């Protein structure tokens, strides 16, 4: 598995897209810091971008890489290697290289602007951790989609739809249900609904850390009570871990039974 | 002969009473009791108090005197009741450190208590650990200047206000610093007064709180990090100019609350990092000019019954919500403000945007209806619906526009 991981990783690291992705984050980080020089505000802006962008890049990269390396995968399948190892190796290769682009691309500018001397270091780490989690989650989901769909066009369509669902449609349904059930106590519903979607979860985790909680009024107090504590943080991270584990599990299951 | 003696006696008495003596109180020698000094003194005398600690419990001053504390003169109230009670006209209290008034749930014990007088002057005192700092009732033509009031209040119900005026007229409150009390400065039924250059911070409730006080000016004050910001209620003809409202964060906190305010002016103030910059409730004919509202949660929140207010030449920079309305009715005008979120263009280069700006976002309307939806703040979906509402307003007041938004920030 480590060998396959290494191969996928070095394959991706050498590819142009990883560099473009890295350079994009470098430019983003530098220009944000150059423009306002305020670490805390830069982190808020980055949060807006990361929460939408990392899932999208993860999804597209995952599907693309899986379809493109199909022939190589088939070649590997002919070797005496366990199937789960092959797919896990590929999955980790993609995820790690994307996460590396993210952390390096943002880490370098922030390091230069002195994140270690700043009290914002914890928030910044939070941002990187949730970005990394989102990458791992969405790469896993997209490989699942690719495994279930041999048809490239279909698979690509489903993958984009999946991203759209978590990034936009989910929030839309969430908002509508909150407005429709206005007359009922909604705090726990809001808490649960935002807890279930990894994008919403990371957004709220970072928002609450960035002192915006007072804006959220009474609901915010409830959120703060949950997310602000150690257990809240731990359970959010546990939730994100579950979001990584489930798709990996189905990926392994499906890959073992799939007829190539 | 008899007449001459009488006249010269009268002259002598007039002369003696006309001359102002200076009485020195010192803990080491001569006169050691402040109380005795006050009893001895004639009208208009000056009592100079040397450095040292003086026990001073419920000390009445019932004639016009000037009390000057040299540096290090401490009046200790012994946690019992009032420390100084000023009950005559033209009393000056200057340069004392006043500590430990009593605490009570039924009496308003204060370090300096002034009642029914005119022409009082309270200058450069340092008040610590007192229930109320300076409490003035039914007085006029006073001056409260350069004082520092500190406390360590924790709860609203067991603490008093820093500078508290009730039923006063023509009082100047200048350059004081109040922290750690319940309200920094509290005015009730106070008219024709000026509150200038004060700094109130870290008070449990309001930095400045005034009710039923008309024709007053508030200029150049800084209100920072108070429990609930500044509350201005039920007053007319108020002028608030060049004040700073900073960092009033909290679920029930705002920079400035205006409730039932008529014909006021809010000019040239700075609102920075407050949960709500200005919360306007039932206030009419108030002009908001040249203010800067920066990085607040809600810059201005307008709730019911606000008519004929004018918002012009203000800067709105990086607020989560610029304007929030709770109804579709609008009778206020927004004209020529700078909005950092304005995305329009200026083809004729007159410094004014060519397309109008709509400061009320759909999301702020939704949040007003269903507060729980705020958890979707900064999500992609919300940006999308805000954009579509901006293109064709359905839910937000459609006449609430700034027709000529400024392209440049006002300095």
pLDDT digits (tens, 9 = 90+) for B71-124: 999 999 888 889 999 999 999 999 999 998 888 888 889 999 999 999 999 999
Q: With a cut of 70, say whether residue A116 has pLDDT above it.
A: yes
Token representation of residue B128: 């610590």
Question: Does A1 have pLDDT greater than 90?
Answer: no
- CB–CB of B251 and A217 under 8 A? yes
In order of start, what are the domains of chain B with their CATH numbers?
Answer: 21-227 (2.160.20.10), 248-411 (no CATH)
Please count the CA atoms within 13 angstroms of the CA of A239 that sit on its side-chain side: 20
pLDDT of res. B149: 95
Model confidence at B248: pLDDT above 70:
yes
Lowest mean pLDDT among A79-83, A131-135, A171-175, B268-272: A79-83
Q: Among B274, B346, B258, which residue's Cα sits nearest to residue B306?
A: B258
At B215, list the tokens.
């024709």
- Between A95 and B20, name the one with better pLDDT: A95
Of A165-169, A187-191, B81-85, B361-365, the least confident = A187-191
Cβ contacts of B394 within 8 Å, gap of 6 or more: none
Contacts A199 to B, Cβ<8 Å:
379
d(CA A14, CA A27): 20
**pLDDT at position B335, please?**
92
Question: Would you say A234 and A227 are in contact if contact means Cβ atoms under 8 Å apart?
Answer: no
- Pairwise pLDDT comparison (B8 vs B274), residue with the higher score: B274
Rounded distance between C-alpha atoms, residue B271 and residue B247, angstroms = 8
Chain B residue with the nearest C-alpha to that of A180 = B370
pLDDT over 70 (residue B17)? no
Cα gap B281→B326, rounded to integer Å: 11
B19 pLDDT tier (thresholds 50, 70, 90): low
**Mean pLDDT (chain B, rounded):** 89
State the Cα–Cα distance between residues A41 and A214, nearest whole angstrom.
17
d(CA B55, CA B80): 11
Q: Domain range holding A219?
A: 2-257
Q: What is the pLDDT of residue A191?
A: 82
Q: How far apart are CA A45 and CA A111, in angstroms?
A: 17
CA distance A167 to B304: 35
HSE-CB of A168 using CA atoms within 13 angstroms: 12
Q: Does the CB of A184 have a partner CB in chain B at under 8 Å?
A: no
Answer yes or no: is pLDDT of B377 > 90.
Answer: no
Q: Does A175 touch chain B (CB under 8 A)?
A: yes
CA distance B395 to chain A (A): 14
Question: What pLDDT band is residue B125 in, cutting at 50, 70 and 90?
Answer: very high
> What average pLDDT score do residues A97-118 get?
87
CA atoms within a 13 Å half-sphere pointing along the CA-CB vector of A191: 17
A204 has a chain B CB within 8 A of its CB: yes
Maximum distance among all alpha carbons in chain A? Answer: 61
Q: Is B109 in a helix, a strand, or coil?
A: coil
Concatenated DSSP letters for A124-176? HHHHHHHHHHHHHHHHHHHHHHHHH--SHHHHHHHHHHHHHIIIIIHHHHHHH
| pLDDT score recorded for residue B4 | 65
More confident residue, A119 or B355: B355
pLDDT band at A208, cuts 50/70/90? confident
Range with lowest mean pLDDT among A101-105, B9-13, B17-21 = B9-13
- pLDDT given at position A93: 87
pLDDT of residue B14 exceeding 60: no
Helix extents (H) in B248-404: 362-369, 380-391
Give mean pLDDT, residues A125-146: 93
Domain count, chain A: 1
The C-alpha of B147 sits at a distance from chain A's nearest C-alpha, in angstroms, of 33
Q: Which of B249, B379, B395 to mutate to test the interface with A (most CBs of A within 10 A)?
A: B379
Closest CA to B207 of B235, B179, B233: B179
For B20-29, what is each residue's pLDDT tens digit? 788 898 888 7
Task: Give the angle B305-B311-B316 at the CA atoms, nearest 5°.
Answer: 115
Which one-letter DSSP state was computed for residue B20?
P
Q: What is the pLDDT of residue A169?
A: 94
Element (H or E) spanning B69, and its range? strand B66-69
| Calpha distance A63→A251 (Å, rounded) | 13
Determine whether the interchain pair A215/B250 forms a contact, defined as Cβ–Cβ distance below 8 Å: no
B175-178: long-range pairs with CB below 8 Å, 24+: B175/B145, B175/B146, B176/B144, B176/B145, B176/B146, B176/B147, B176/B148, B176/B149, B177/B147, B177/B148, B177/B149, B177/B201, B178/B133, B178/B148, B178/B149, B178/B150, B178/B203
Locate all alpha helices (DSSP H) within chain A, ordered by sequence. Answer: 2-14, 16-36, 39-68, 70-77, 83-112, 121-148, 152-164, 170-180, 187-196, 198-209, 217-227, 230-257
Q: Residue B227 in contact with residue B251, Cβ under 8 Å?
A: no
Contact B174, B194 (CB under 8 A): yes
Whole-number percent of chain A with pLDDT over 70: 93
Confidence of residue A215 (pLDDT cuts 50, 70, 90): low
Least Cα separation, residue B57 to chain A (angstroms): 44
pLDDT for B127 equals 94
Distance CA B378, CA B361 (A): 13
Q: Where residue A227 falls among pLDDT bands split at 50, 70, 90?
A: confident
Q: How far is the C-alpha of A251 from the C-alpha of B307, rounded, in Å?
A: 62
| 3 state DSSP class of B384 | helix
Q: Where are the alpha helices (DSSP H) in B291-361?
A: none
- Cα B344 to Cα B355: distance, rounded to the nearest angstrom: 6
Residue B257 has pLDDT above 80, yes or no: yes
pLDDT at B1: 54
């Amino acid at each position: 598995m480590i060998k396959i991981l290494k191969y996928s990783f070095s394959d991706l690291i050498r590819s142009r897209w990883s560099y473009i992705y890295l350079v994009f984050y470098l430019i983003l980080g530098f220009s944000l810091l150059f423009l306002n020089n305020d670490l805390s505000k830069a982190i808020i802006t980055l949060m807006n971008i990361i929460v939408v962008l990392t899932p999208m890049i993860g999804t597209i990269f995952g599907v693309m890489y899986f379809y493109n390396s199909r022939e190589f995968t088939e070649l590997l399948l002919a070797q005496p290697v366990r199937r789960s190892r092959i797919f896990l190796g590929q999955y980790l290769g993609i995820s790690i290289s994307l996460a590396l682009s993210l952390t390096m691309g943002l880490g370098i500018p922030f390091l230069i602007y002195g994140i270690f001397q700043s009290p914002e270091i914890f928030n910044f780490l939070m941002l990187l951790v949730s970005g990394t989690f989102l990458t791992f989650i969405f790469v896993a989901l997209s490989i699942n989609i690719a495994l279930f769909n041999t048809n490239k066009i279909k698979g690509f369509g489903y993958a984009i739809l999946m991203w759209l669902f978590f990034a936009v449609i989910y929030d839309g349904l969430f908002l509508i249900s909150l407005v429709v059930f206005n007359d009922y106590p909604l705090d726990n519903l809001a808490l649960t609904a935002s807890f279930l979607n990894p994008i919403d979860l990371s957004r709220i985790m970072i928002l609450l850390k960035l002192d915006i909680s007072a804006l959220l009024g009474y609901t915010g107090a409830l959120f703060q009570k949950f997310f602000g504590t150690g257990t809240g943080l731990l359970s959010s991270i546990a939730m994100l871990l579950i979001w990584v584990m489930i798709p990996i599990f189905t990926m392994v299951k499906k890959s073992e039974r799939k007829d190539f | 002969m008899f007449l001459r003696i009488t006249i010269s006696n009268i002259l002598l008495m007039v002369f003696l009473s006309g001359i102002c003596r200076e009485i020195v109180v010192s803990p080491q020698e001569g006169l050691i009791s402040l109380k005795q000094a006050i009893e001895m003194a004639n009208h208009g005398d000056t009592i100079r108090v040397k450095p040292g600690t003086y026990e001073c419990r419920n000390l009445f001053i019932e004639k016009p005197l000037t009390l000057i504390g040299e540096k290090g003169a401490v009046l200790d109230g012994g946690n019992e009741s009032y420390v100084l009670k000023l009950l005559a006209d033209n009393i000056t209290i200057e340069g004392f450190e006043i500590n430990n008034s009593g605490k009570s749930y039924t009496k308003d014990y204060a370090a300096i208590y002034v009642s029914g007088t005119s022409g009082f002057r309270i200058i450069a005192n340092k008040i610590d650990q007192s229930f109320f700092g300076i409490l003035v009732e039914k007085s006029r033509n006073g001056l409260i200047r350069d004082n520092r009031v500190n406390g360590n209040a924790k709860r609203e119900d067991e603490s008093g206000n820093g500078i508290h005026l009730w039923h006063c007229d023509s009082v100047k409150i200048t350059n004081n610093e109040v922290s750690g009390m319940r309200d920094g400065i509290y005015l009730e039924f106070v008219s024709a007064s000026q509150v200038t250059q004060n700094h109130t911070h870290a008070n449990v409730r309001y930095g400045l709180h005034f009710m039923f006080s008309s024709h007053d000016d508030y200029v150049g004050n800084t209100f920072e990090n108070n429990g609930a910001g500044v509350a201005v209620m039920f007053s007319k003809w108020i002028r608030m100019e060049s004040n700073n409202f900073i960092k009033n964060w909290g679920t029930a906190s705002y920079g400035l609350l205006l409730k039932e305010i008529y014909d006021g002016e809010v000019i040239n103030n700075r609102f920075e990092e407050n949960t709500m910059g200005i919360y306007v409730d039932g206030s009419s004919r108030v002009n908001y000019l040249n203010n800067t509202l920066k990085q607040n949660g809600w810059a201005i929140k307008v709730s019911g019954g606000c008519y004929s207010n004018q918002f012009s030449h203000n800067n709105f920079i990086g607020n989560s919500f610029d304007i929030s309305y709770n109804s579709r009715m609008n009778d206020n005008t927004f004209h020529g403000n700078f909005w950092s979120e304005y995305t329009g263009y200026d083809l004729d280069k007159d410094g004014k945007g060519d397309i109008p700006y709509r400061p009320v976002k759909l999301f702020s309307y939704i949040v007003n209806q269903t507060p729980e939806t705020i958890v979707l703040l900064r999500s992609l979906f919300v940006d999308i619906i805000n954009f579509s509402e901006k293109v064709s307003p359905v839910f937000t007041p459609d006449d609430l526009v700034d027709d000529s938004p400024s392209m440049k920030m006002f300095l």
